[in-house]
Amino acid sequence: MSKTTPATLALTKAGISFSLAHYDYDPNAERVGVQAAEAMGVSPAEVFKTLMAELDGKPVCAIVPSDEEVNMKKLAAALGGKSAQMMKPPNAERLTGYKVGGISPLGQRKLVPTALDELATLYDEIYLNGGQRGLQIRIRPDDLVTALGCVVADLVR
């Protein structure tokens, strides 16, 4: 498994500190983020999933705890729109350059408005996908906000 992805390159280029964690990816897992947390021996609340959505027809990204679900009304409000819905997986892969199960909010092909759930601020460090299945980035939430220029808001039900 490669330790270099567009996500890790983006953080390195920005001079942001991070570490990597590898785990055995299960393609049959019902919830990839929860499976990653279990495989790494950490709480699912500390492992954040990257969800691609469409807000008023335009792509956006939501980063929420793996054991939570994004509330589309809250996502729309956080990013100043009216209506949000999940993006179809093939569209998310084409837009980001990553495969589902390995989508990172960092190093995507196109920079899109991004929102990080405020629960991230409860932790010194969180995990999020590193750009390939089985690779997680461990990073301080403040550093993630700096790297992405994202908003922090309540996004879950």
Domain assignments of the chain as residue spans, ordered by start: 6-153
Q: Which CATH superfamily is domain 6-153 in?
A: YbaK/aminoacyl-tRNA synthetase-associated domain (3.90.960.10)
Amino acid, single-letter form, for residue 99: K
Report pLDDT for 2: 67
Tell me what the pLDDT averaged over the chain comes to: 95
Residue 8 pLDDT > 90:
yes
54-113, pLDDT tens digit by residue?
Answer: 999 999 999 999 999 999 999 999 999 999 999 999 999 999 999 999 999 999 999 999
112-139, pLDDT tens digit by residue?
Answer: 999 999 999 999 999 999 999 999 999 9
- Separation of CA 70 from chain center: 12
75-104 burial, b for 16+ CB within 10 Å, e for fewer? bbbbbebeebeebeeeebbebbebeebbbb
Residue found under tokens 């403040």: 142
Collapsing DSSP states into helix, strand and coil, what is residue 132? coil
> pTM here?
0.95
Residue found under tokens 């956006």: 60
Pinpoint the alpha helices (H) of 63-140.
72-78, 89-96
Residues 6+ apart with CB under 8 A from 142: none
Do residues 40 and 47 make contact, with C-beta atoms less than 8 angstroms apart? yes
The pair of structure tokens assigned to 11 is 């953080």
